[in-house]
């Protein structure tokens, strides 16, 4: 097996292998380009292919921030492994171990002290490792010294024939009687909304709203709750990644930085201390 840094001539093979290996998280080339190659921090030195001749048998890439991410800044002691997969025919031969150790080495050299799997804001493919769909990945990473962190849940609902339940209507009417209002976003509240998101829910949320405002999709995609004093106290958004079926995040005042974004199946975040 030969290991080379990623280059564009491998793009089509990487996508095909990705979709054979990560079958619950299939992607199209446009998403790969948008979220990986064209991410501000993408660095081909942290992206590796494993080759048998011209054939891509494995791929992995990691990230270290070069550009500050809103109030999180550079997070200088953090690194990420965004994705890793190996052709089923080449597994249990140490290929993933080799790919991972190359990325870990570069991340540690660049100052990272902990490595997070997936969960790279703002452009993650995986919120962590999914133990139901990828149990071999959990064994692999645990064997490499990673430990489980927070658990994330995926939730979905089929809206075919959906009607707003009467209980919800009643609760809404009760809140409206008390002076709360549920309104679509409008630009008169732009700065107020951005301030609310940064203060109550964190930089990632503010960024999603900023992008939507820049693209002028915010009035269609964002809903607000206004409290009796006229302040924003709740917010939700849909289609943040362009997928019209995606709902979330959603958050209210007082929830702190608790992320409410729903993605993927239960995925404990795996972290490794490389200090
Ligand atoms: C997880 C994955 C990348 C591992 O690739 P690999 O090249 O087979 O891994 P390695 O050969 O380097 O394995 C190193 C060690 O990890 C552990 N391991 C790997 N696969 C395992 C499995 N299926 N069951 C138990 N332990 C496993 C073993 O300890 C192994 O050492 P050993 O073979 O000497 O026992 C591969 O199974 C894969 O592509 N899975 C699908 C995609 C995926 O889940 N990606 C992660 C989410 S991004």
C-alpha triplet 13, 99, 153: angle, nearest 5°: 80
Highest mean pLDDT out of 14-28, 147-161, 253-267: 14-28
Helix, strand, or coil (residue 80) = strand
Asked if residues 264 and 130 have their Cβ atoms less than 8 Å apart, the reply is: yes
Ligand 1 atom with minimal separation from the 91 CA: 8
Ligand 1 atom with minimal separation from the 22 CA: 42
pLDDT recorded at residue 270 = 61
pTM of this prediction?
0.81
* Shortest-distance Cα residue to atom 4 of ligand 1: 96
Q: Which two tokens stand for residue 216?
A: 């002028």
Q: Which residue has the tokens 């809903």?
A: 223
pLDDT over 70 percentage in the chain: 92
- Count Cβ atoms below 10 Å from residue 177 Cβ, excluding itself: 8
* For residues 239-266, average pLDDT: 65
Helix (H) or strand (E) holding 95: helix 95-109
Which domains, and CATH codes, for the chain?
Answer: 2-155+263-273 (3.40.630.30), 166-258 (no CATH)
Task: Check pocket membership of 20 for ligand 1, CB cut-off 6 A.
Answer: no
Asked if residues 107 and 273 have their Cβ atoms less than 8 Å apart, the reply is: no
Task: Check pocket membership of 61 for ligand 1, CB cut-off 6 A.
Answer: no
Residue 86 has pLDDT above 90, yes or no: yes
Task: Check pocket membership of 93 for ligand 1, CB cut-off 6 A.
Answer: yes
Task: Check pocket membership of 95 for ligand 1, CB cut-off 6 A.
Answer: yes
Residue 267 has pLDDT above 70, yes or no: no
């Amino acid at each position: 097996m030969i290991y080379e840094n990623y280059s564009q001539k491998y793009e089509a093979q990487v996508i095909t292998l990705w979709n054979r290996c990560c079958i619950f998280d299939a992607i199209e080339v446009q998403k790969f380009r948008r979220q990986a190659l064209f991410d501000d921090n993408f660095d081909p030195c942290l992206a590796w292919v494993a080759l048998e001749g011209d054939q891509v048998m494995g791929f992995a890439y990691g990230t270290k921030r070069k550009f500050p991410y809103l109030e999180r800044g550079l997070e200088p002691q953090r690194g990420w492994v965004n994705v890793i997969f190996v052709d089923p025919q080449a597994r249990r031969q140490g290929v993933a171990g080799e790919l991972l150790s190359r990325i870990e080495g570069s991340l540690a050299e660049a100052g990272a002290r902990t490595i997070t799997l997936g969960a790279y804001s703002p452009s993650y493919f995986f919120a962590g490792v999914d133990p139901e769909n990828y149990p071999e990945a959990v064994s692999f990473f645990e064997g490499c010294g990673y430990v489980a962190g927070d658990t994330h849940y995926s939730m979905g609902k089929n809206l075919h024939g959906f009607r707003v339940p009467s209980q919800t209507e009643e609760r809404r009417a009760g809140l409206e009687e008390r002076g709360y209002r549920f309104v679509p976003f409008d630009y008169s509240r732009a700065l107020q909304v951005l301030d609310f998101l940064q203060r109550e829910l964190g930089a990632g949320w503010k960024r999603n709203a900023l992008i939507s405002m820049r693209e002028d999709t915010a009035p269609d995609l964002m809903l607000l709750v206004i409290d009796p004093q006229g302040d924003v106290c709740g917010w939700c958004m849909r289609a943040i990644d362009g997928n019209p079926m995606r709902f979330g995040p959603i958050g209210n005042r007082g929830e702190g930085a608790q992320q409410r974004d729903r993605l993927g199946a239960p995925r404990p975040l795996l972290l490794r201390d490389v200090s």
